[in-house]
Amino acid sequence: MGYPKTSSKKSKADKNIDEKTTTTGNNDEDFQPKTWNPLRLMVMKLSFTELRFTSPLNYEERDGVYNCAYCGLDLFDSDGKYDSGSGWPSFWRSTRDGNVAYKQEWDGRLECLCANKKCSAHLGHVFLDGPLPNKVNKELFDAAPPSDPRGRNPDGYLPRFCVNGASLKFEKKTGDDAFPFAK
């Protein structure tokens, strides 16, 4: 079951989209959502917020990658996860430059979205009250993507990606080179 087509012509911008997805093709017809779960769709496509402390991913402690539940793009990893006490899975860094997009909301909050243009799933919000740089691994801090939001003070708090667990799928780490982006 696919989405209805609105036009068979593609704009120049659509043709030049840098695909950031784990799907096999680059055409709209090739893109297949990875979920039809009603809660996940409410969160990712209607920007609903799941209740605090209800996501099993909030308590996940294994090494692995947190992918977009809609398209499969890798967004966060266990090296950047920490317990913020907020009730939602929290991360202080994303996996790769440009995998997470940002949008300023009407109330001033910074929304984070999956950067795959065919997905653009709502993930949650970013706040500048994460851990201090001296509280995280220096090598991971130095390897954090430059696109991650930062405060004005270089020694100030790192971002807190406060993410709905329903928008993520956890993939357990396997093998020695499972995290090439963290090296």
Which sign does the torsion angle of CA 52, 157, 148, 73 carry?
negative
Catalytic: which of 68, 71, 114, 162? 162
Where would I find the beta strands (DSSP E) of the chain? 64-68, 74-77, 81-82, 90-91, 100-104, 110-114, 122-127, 160-163, 168-172
Alpha-carbon distance of 162 to 79, in angstroms, equals 15
Q: Tell me the per-residue pLDDT of 6-18, one tens digit each, with 9 for 90 and over.
A: 344 443 333 333 3
3-state secondary structure of 168: strand
Q: Which tens digits make up the pLDDT trace of 170-183?
A: 999 887 555 555 44
Query: Does the active-site annotation cover 162?
Result: yes
**What distance in Å separates the CA atoms of residue 156 and residue 57, rounded to the nearest whole number?**
27
Q: What is the pLDDT of residues 76-119, one digit of tens each?
A: 999 999 999 999 999 999 999 999 999 999 999 999 999 999 99
**Weakest mean pLDDT among 67-71, 79-83, 128-132, 179-183:** 179-183
Q: Name the pLDDT band for 20 (thresholds 50, 70, 90).
A: very low
**Per-residue pLDDT reduced to its tens digit, 43-64:** 999 999 999 999 999 999 999 9
Token pair listed for 100: 């997470």
Overall pTM surpassing 0.85 (yes/no): no
